Structure 1
Amino acid sequence: MTIRVLHVAAELYPLLKTGGLADVVGALPPVLAPLGADARVIMPGFPAVLAGLEDLRPVAHTGPRFGLQDIALEFGRLRTNGTGLYVIRADAFYGRPGSPYLDAAHHPYADNNRRFALLGWAASLIAQGADPDWTPALVHAHDWHAGLAAPYIRAAEAAQRRRIAATVMTVHNLAYQGLFPASTFGELGLPAPYYQMQGMEFWGQVSYLKAGLFYSDKITTVSPTYANEIQTLAQGAGLDGLLRERAHDVLGILNGVDYAVWHPSTDPSIAAPYWAEDMDGKAACKRALQQRFGIAAKPDAPIFGVVSRLTEQKGLDLLLAALSEIVERGGQLVVLGTGEPRLEAGLKQAALAHPESVAIELGFDEALAHVIVAGSDVVCVPSRFEPCGLTQLYGLAYGALPLVHGVGGLADTVVDASLENLADGIATGFVFEKFDLASLTRAVKRVFALHARPDEWNATRRHGMKSNFGWEASALRYVDLYQRLVPDA
């Protein structure tokens, strides 16, 4: 029989994306369908989301809640692949231009606590039968924005004395926890006992992520290594104790790549198609990238590409410190991203100092991200910590060898180009284990050493391109989890 699953999230590619969360939520529901899971998604009615749907129909009106007089739930389907999507129509909360989370001054919206409490609460209404034509047996929440889905469902179960739905909470990044003042708890309409240490209280604040971790039946995260790391003091972000207590409920399932979107043989965004056995188009993509960013058209200069939020978490401060090693050895660096002003300024200064070798574009552009990955020889993901990472997987698919710090999903997906691994034909990139400048610099030197041996470089690149990190294997693990939680479905 088919298991009905409701995914709860704030982002979904191609409608709205600020990071890898959107790629996951966009790719997972369609691949679940052939495996016996009828998956739909519920999201806030952001303008970009509404614009990407067709056949919208009303499902329910909720009446007053969170200071709003009327909230509508509507259902439609993505124009791209037909995925079913519930949207919460609350224009006072969601009808704002720009970022879904930040105002024009790049500060979190003051009412984010209510905006995303509404997301979790609306998901609980769907689970209780708000849509008479479709009721999920399982609710799968993604990151802190959806963290209140599980406590709202648990509270409804207690009030109604019946089982409503199984719940799964997926952590895409434990560092982002949805913390709000304790005074805001009263706005949520949850039972008073939910605000305690054995609940959603976190050092005198309300934590939406902790709420999801505490009240969900199972917890998943986006790579096996990260599932272990978040149970340690070093990477547990203050929640390691809770996660260790629930260790038997924590599961790491690696994110996948949607190769219908990310594959150089079919990508409409890049200068020329290519694939593992015919790499001629890669050179054209490299020339196009150099021209696009105005750096020197040097076919033999290895290009190091970065598509990332510009934050210390992503290790861009370390990469900036190692930039002289790249430039002095004849390499080039191309960066697309936005983030911390200090890092933006440092990269801008480097581009001014080395205009033929370094270029940066602030912001995010999905098509340009494809252009960078296709044209680069190396993609850099030197993160301090990385739950999964998708950029290194895109790099593998496009023959851009990943240069990564050996943590989280980076450790699970990139095989270091050590002498032994090169000899065995299993190397796919460059991994440095210790997060410091000396270790990254040694890895950069190894990039240039391998690049100077074209046969070994090309063999490593081909092996990486033949790696398969599609969603099929991960989707099977999710379906297995769903079936264990809803055995009667």
Structure 2
Amino acid sequence: MTIRVLHIAAELYPLLKTGGLADVLGALPLAQVELGADARVLLPGFPSVIDGLADLREVARLPAAFGVDDASIQFGTLRDADGGVAGLGVYVVRADRFYRRDGNPYVDEAHRPYDDNMLRFALLGWSAAQLAGSADPAWSPAVVHAHDWHAALAPAYVQAAHETSGAPRLPSVVTVHNLAYQGLFPAHEWSSLRLPDRYFGIDGLEFHGQISFLKGGLYFADRITTVSPSYAREIQTASQGAGLDGLLRHRARDLTGILNGVDYAVWNPRSDRSIVATYSPTRLHPKSKNKAELQARLGLKADSDALLFGVVSRLTEQKGFDLLLEAVPEIVSRGGQLAVLGTGDPALEAGMRRAVQAHPEAVGIHVGFDEALAHLVIAGSDVVMVPSRFEPCGLTQLYALAYGSLPLVHRVGGLTDTVSDASLENLADQAATGFVFERFEHDALVAAIRRAFALRARRTDWRRAQQCAMQQNFSWQSAAERYLALYQQIVPQR
């Protein structure tokens, strides 16, 4: 049986990307299509989404809702990086009042969330329920799969439609990509959501007197997944459960950790057109040309022997950037360099700029996001740093492994599941792929940095670790198979 699945999310690479969520949505549905599923995606009608789809056409007019009386659902096909058709069907909620805005899709120029975000993303989840109820006469899903808080009300709207109008009760899945972002809104705006009043309570969307979109998904979805096995365990604890650990423990039997994958068609040092020299595990020497280019791009001293630490990240405390800033003197004093690509907390950006001013030949930063430069940082670095306080999965370390740029990570979440520390035992077994520190403390991070310098001095062991890292396989096929098996457990067999 070909299963029909509707993914609901706020972004999808290459149409729109602010973080790893876009990479997941750009890869998982296509991997499922390759396995025989009929997978499609529903997105808000942001300008880059509208512009990036081929053959866009209207399939349904939506009833007036959430203060919008001219919304529609349109359907098109994803274009690939070369402008051709990638083969993935994409639905778009067309509501220009909500989505046609310049700049960031979630926040204004002052980094403040848009005042109408609750309605903007309620419309997304509600539109998913309309598709579940055959708004498109030519296609309807057998299961809806919501990703993160922006889409998390979809299961609630599906359930509400079933209860109030007799619409089909389709099974649903919600995937938590980051529990820290829950979509919290004032309780006095409840009536705007078009949900039954009984849904606002401890058994529903109420969260400490507020509305939580993500809690709604966790409560109403048939299955809950997270993006790594370790994170699935961690979010059931008070320390990492963000106040939802009790609900998650209650639903532990319905909670599964499925590790994210890598789209090796995009992230592959053998064929990457965003880097200046391609290379492979058996032909590593061209990697140094990417290092030289990265040093030039960020104004670092041209020095092939300097151990170059790279960062591609949102500059937030969650990503451990405050801890990393404290460690900059250790890197520089040992002759290392630091190349940073990212944007985020203004205070952390300012701290990084001060580090650049203090060490202009050893520290460089590009504030913002540049997809091509991200590839160059990953390829040109010797070590890629992911010192996150918590990390649901992390994709950066997976990209680093593929490029032989040894990840340096905190032992948490998906970082635990994907990086093997360069301990003496792992080096002896030729299983080392990076550097792992246990405690989220300055001394622990510095110790890992020192071990990176020590291993680099042992060139043979360093090369073996690079080759071992590049031989790891985190393809999306395995994840896609696990999700399809999960759907089969909850879709009624006809």
Following superposition, the deviation at residue 36 of structure 1 comes to 3.2
- Residues 1:302 and 2:307 are matched in the alignment: yes
Q: Over residues 34-72 of structure 1, what are the superposed CA-to-partner deviations in whole Å (9 max), with x where a residue is unaligned?
A: 323210000000000001001111111113111111111
- Superposed, which structure 2 residues align to 1:100-179 within 5 Å? 100-161=105-166, 163-179=168-184
Q: 2:357 is paired with a residue of what secondary structure?
A: helix
What TM-score, normalized to structure 2? 0.98
Q: Distance in 2 between matches of 1:93 and 1:163?
A: 28
RMSD over aligned CA atoms reads 0.8
- Is 2:420–2:434's contact at 8 Å kept on the other side of the alignment? yes
- Residues 1:237 and 2:242 are matched in the alignment: yes
Q: Distance in 2 between matches of 1:146 and 1:162?
A: 20
Following superposition, the deviation at residue 386 of structure 1 comes to 0.1
- Residues 1:438 and 2:446 are matched in the alignment: no
For structure 1, the 5+ residue unaligned runs are none
- Is 1:415–1:426's contact at 8 Å kept on the other side of the alignment? yes
Partner of 1:200: 205
- Bigger mean CA offset, 159-168 vs 117-126: 159-168
Q: Which amino acid in 1 is paired with 2:269?
A: P
Q: Over residues 354-399 of structure 1, what are the superposed CA-to-partner deviations in whole Å (9 max), with x where a residue is unaligned?
A: 0110001110011100010000000000000000000000000001
Q: Distance in 2 between matches of 1:286 and 1:317?
A: 25
Following superposition, the deviation at residue 4 of structure 1 comes to 0.3
Partner of 2:296: 291
Q: Which amino acid in 2 is paired with 1:93?
A: F
Could you list the runs of 4 or more consecutive aligned residues of structure 1 that deviate by over 6 angstroms after TM superposition? none
- Residues 1:409 and 2:424 are matched in the alignment: no
- Superposed, which structure 2 residues align to 1:313-352 within 5 Å? 313-352=318-357
Q: Over residues 162-219 of structure 1, what are the superposed CA-to-partner deviations in whole Å (9 max), with x where a residue is unaligned?
A: 5331100000000000000001110011000000011100000000000000000000
Q: Which amino acid in 2 is paired with 1:113?
A: M
Q: Distance in 2 between matches of 1:205 and 1:289?
A: 46
- Bigger mean CA offset, 34-43 vs 191-200: 34-43
- Is 2:269–2:402's contact at 8 Å kept on the other side of the alignment? yes
Following superposition, the deviation at residue 82 of structure 1 comes to 2.0
Partner of 1:10: 10
- Is 1:378–1:403's contact at 8 Å kept on the other side of the alignment? yes
- Is 1:128–1:164's contact at 8 Å kept on the other side of the alignment? no
1:421 to 406, 412, 426: 426
Partner of 2:83: none
Partner of 1:373: 378
Q: Over residues 51-108 of structure 1, what are the superposed CA-to-partner deviations in whole Å (9 max), with x where a residue is unaligned?
A: 1001111111113111111111100001111210000110000000011100122110
- Is 1:47–1:95's contact at 8 Å kept on the other side of the alignment? yes
Q: Which amino acid in 1 is paired with 2:493?
A: D
Aligned residues: 489
For structure 2, the 5+ residue unaligned runs are 81-85
Q: Over residues 459-485 of structure 1, what are the superposed CA-to-partner deviations in whole Å (9 max), with x where a residue is unaligned?
A: 000000010011111111001001111
Q: Over residues 88-134 of structure 1, what are the superposed CA-to-partner deviations in whole Å (9 max), with x where a residue is unaligned?
A: 11000000001110012211000000000000000000000000110
Q: Distance in 1 between matches of 2:110 and 2:447?
A: 39
Q: Distance in 2 between matches of 1:446 and 1:238?
A: 36
- Is 2:33–2:39's contact at 8 Å kept on the other side of the alignment? yes
- Is 1:36–1:479's contact at 8 Å kept on the other side of the alignment? no
Q: Which amino acid in 2 is paired with 1:39?
A: A
Q: Distance in 1 between matches of 2:66 and 2:19?
A: 28
- Residues 1:32 and 2:32 are matched in the alignment: yes
Q: Distance in 1 between matches of 2:48 and 2:36?
A: 30
Partner of 2:21: 21
Q: Distance in 1 between matches of 2:344 and 2:267?
A: 24
Q: Distance in 2 between matches of 1:114 and 1:65?
A: 9
